[in-house]
Structure 1
């Protein structure tokens, strides 16, 4: 397998099309595809039910960081095609807010690359989220993994 592949990164307010992304990511010389989807869940926070999340991003910086992380993961794991897409705007319960697809020769590197990417994205990407509750209230939430939190 050649690890010379491509990378597609995006921030979008549109729903993530996993099927189309998966279809485009496939490669005839790769036997593994790892997919991570981060999905909005209907948590209960302080007695309030979450209806959706609202994501805001510093787009220019976020895209640069996404590309740098994809470049970096290629140096660690021999993966071929990469897709990283993060939603902005309102993401309702059961909708996907982030999609990562890593295509590689074997499952081990694809799975490890996917896990590495989501952990680094959670720590470094300038994307903020607000919980929107059923009662209409909204509240910014802090990401526990974010490097600037320490």
Structure 2
């Protein structure tokens, strides 16, 4: 049996209408009692006097998609989820825009929330995705996850 690898990557920012459309598609599913949603947004941090204007995301895509498949399978095995959706930006995402959208659904809220949190933590820790912070003075640095 071959595994189906879902593509989680979206070029540029994740648009609010994409998020709302994803949520709306679940209104016809009558076995869901809870959704948990995480939205990662680019902060306009000031670092050493320079202001972050955007982050440019790159990834080792094949490895990231394989690892995300492993995470997906492990989370579905651990939690009684109805649905799981994960989207991560590649390319330039400006301050204020969404770069990560994780959406879990289940019969009960605790399951949806715990699974969503675990997915976000594992994405940050395990996926080969890198962000280059681009500053208002056109300088840049590689972002360190905190």
Q: Normalising by structure 2, report the TM-score.
A: 0.89
Residue 48 of structure 1 deviates from its aligned partner by 0.6
Distance 1:10 1:131, change over 3 A: same
In structure 2, the residue corresponding to 1:88 is in which secondary structure?
strand
Q: Distance in 2 between matches of 1:75 and 1:143?
A: 27
- Counterpart residue number, 2:33: 31
Residue 22 of structure 1: aligned partner: 23
Deviation at 1:77, TM superposition (A): 1.0
> Which of 11, 14, 17 matches 1:13?
11
Corresponding residue for residue 63 of structure 2? 61
Q: Residues 99 and 78 from structure 1, CA distance in 2 versus in 1: closer, same or farther, beyond 3 angstroms?
A: same
Q: How many residues align?
A: 138
Between the aligned partners of 2:60 and 2:24, the Cα distance in structure 1 is 29
Per the alignment, residue 3 of structure 1 pairs with none
* 1:4 equivalent in structure 2: none
Distance 1:86 1:21 in 2: 14
Gapped runs of 5+ residues in structure 2? Answer: none
Pairwise CA RMSD: 1.5
Question: Of 131, 134, 138, which aligns to 1:132?
Answer: 134
Unpaired runs of 5+ residues, structure 1, are: 1-6, 145-150
Q: Single out whichever of 82-91 and 64-73 deviates more from structure 2.
A: 64-73
1:1-150 superposed matches below 5 A: 9-16=7-14, 17-26=18-27, 27-144=29-146
Alpha-carbon distance in 1 for matches of 2:129, 2:138: 22
